Structure 1
Amino acid sequence: MTQETWRKYSEWPLVGAAFLFLAAYSILVIYEPPAPYAAILNWVMWLTWIVFGLDYLVKLALAPHRGRWFVRHPMDLLMVVVPVARPLRLLRPFTLRQVMARSPGLAIRTRVMAYVIASALILIYTVALSVLSSEKSAPNANITTMGDSLWWATVTITTIGYGDYYPVTVPGRWAAAALMVGGFAVLSMVTAAVSSWLVESVSAATAARIKPSEVSTSEELARLTAQIEQLHARLAANPEAAHDDDGRHGGMQDGAAR
């Protein structure tokens, strides 16, 4: 079995595992269910960890160059080591390379914007869950509800940062740092898409202004070419007339010289 074959059959089951993890983690953090239900949810989260771990080991074993694959795929390892990164697997079937493949300019920008928005929403929600899990029981914490955590995550990823809510625990601050980095990446992609649209719009407007003059020049060249071809055809059909014309022209020049 090759790595591509394994990826083909494991992609959507891993998306399902990521969704199960996100659902179980959300219920566990937001609603704090009693012990029997909490134990079931913890088992679901452990099961998803086993699934992601097996997927990583199989891909590493099937890689032609394991060291190179290990270096070039840090996100796969991150989803095994860091639980809150597993929901990012929901985006893996729609990688940015696939989003941009075989599409015209406008379609690429539309798909990239949709991909960026989906990435931002998943990042905001998962980091908000992680921060709430760390903060809600901490002394002097001001992020104690999911609403507060979502508000904080939204203003943080957009680099607004009112400062009315902030994490006080070490895990919460690490999550905040990851969210800030993600926010810069999201804004960079949005800026690139908008810049591409502006450049294409200006190029289209410039081409629209230049096109009429190019058309008139092309028509004039075509007209002159047709006249020259007609003249050549007439000369080829009546070479004696051309010789007489040359003689008369030469006689006129001699008379003028005298």
Structure 2
Amino acid sequence: MVDDLIPIGRFSRMSRLSIKALRFYDAQGLLAPARVDPASGYRWYRRSQAARAEAIRVLRAVDLPVGEIRELLGDDDPELIGKRLAAHRERLRARLAEQERMLRFLERLIDRGGNLMSSEVTVKRVAPVTVASVTLRVSLVTIGEAVQHGFGTIIGAIGTAGAHPAGAPFLVYHDVLDEGAEGEVELCIPVPAGTPGFREMPGATVASIVHRGPYDEIAPAYHVLTGWIEENGRKPDGPPREIYLNDPQTVGPDELLTEVQFPIEGDR
């Protein structure tokens, strides 16, 4: 009915959605106007659309993605709707946990007077080591799960060969990972020297620093090492390594110890 039509400005005030938002939700297939003037493009809505507008406003207020709102509002199964909302709740919880982690990291930086690292860079010679390894192509999003699965695969291969781990596991970054690119990483677990079927990784002179804390707060260690290498006129001589000195299943995230090594050209 024509009398039921409400101009977009009035509907905006009724729904508490801006005119810009209403145009956007129309473009996204969420809330189309009941009528659009073919000459002027002016839009009218029906009063009955206010309920859908309110649902959209509430769901966007809890940061549900537009695509998922479209799917949710197109679903009339209460159980599936509940599952979709519960899945979003878990995403919000994970996001909150990450923000709390960043807050703790910031508090530690404040306690250190702004110093990124408390450890000093050391230069040392690391010996050749026989390793069981696997090379994976990963992104920043997939690396956590890939590393966990990859180390499990390596442990299985070591057991099948009748060998046993002989040192701390480590990871070699053959490529730089960033938000827009995948790269290759090599997962390694040392085994006794000369174990058949496994390769030997050559020794190297390395610049080293030990990071204490969660794995995802390790970036400052790389910053310190690369800065030290540049300031001291040394040259990188291979991909960096992360050696995991203790077990995340036995210590908390703040107690994790990770040694970061950058191979550099040999001693002067």
| TM bucket, shorter chain | under 0.3
> Larger radius of gyration, structure 1 or 2?
1
Q: TM-score, normalised by structure 2?
A: 0.20
